[in-house]
Structure 1
């Protein structure tokens, strides 16, 4: 994955119905908890395809976090781990 592909990667994740958010300033999560089991079964292969297309992105974690924060897709946690 290239840094220039981060917006497209985020858009593709969102198009599946999953959420993607920065957590603080150094992590991000892709959430599928809001999907029913049936809905998840329908999109799990699409998530795998996205993974295959974009490949390794660990080295871009901070850039992905910065992008997510720049577009308002983030959660900051307090001292006790809550929002």
Structure 2
């Protein structure tokens, strides 16, 4: 018999706290255009990445599934100036 897996769903009211926690890890989170966002970690050393990965996993567990809030997260990131707009050719 299949087991039911309960997944926590992030609330829209948790978006500011979620973004703040991501920023505190040292990762850059920003909207890309009007329908996507990314969490960047390219500037982290391998050792620092291991620590940050644990923090990001904890954040993921704390807030749960947020896929359905993608556009709301993007709108919030844009409202606080954390965004990159791309031109028609994909360049900034």
TM-score, reference length from structure 2: 0.89
1:29 match: 38
**Between Structure 1 and Structure 2, how many residues are aligned?**
83
Match of 2:51 among 42, 52, 58: 42
* Structure 1 residue 34, shift from structure 2 partner: 1.0
Matched position secondary structure for 2:73: helix
Task: Within 5 Å, give how 1:3-18 maps onto structure 2.
Answer: 3-18=12-27
| Structure 1 spans left out of the alignment, 5+ residues | none
* Structure 1 residue 43, shift from structure 2 partner: 1.3
Matched position secondary structure for 2:30: strand
1:52 match: 61
1:62 match: 71
* Structure 1 residue 73, shift from structure 2 partner: 0.1
* Structure 1 residue 41, shift from structure 2 partner: 1.0
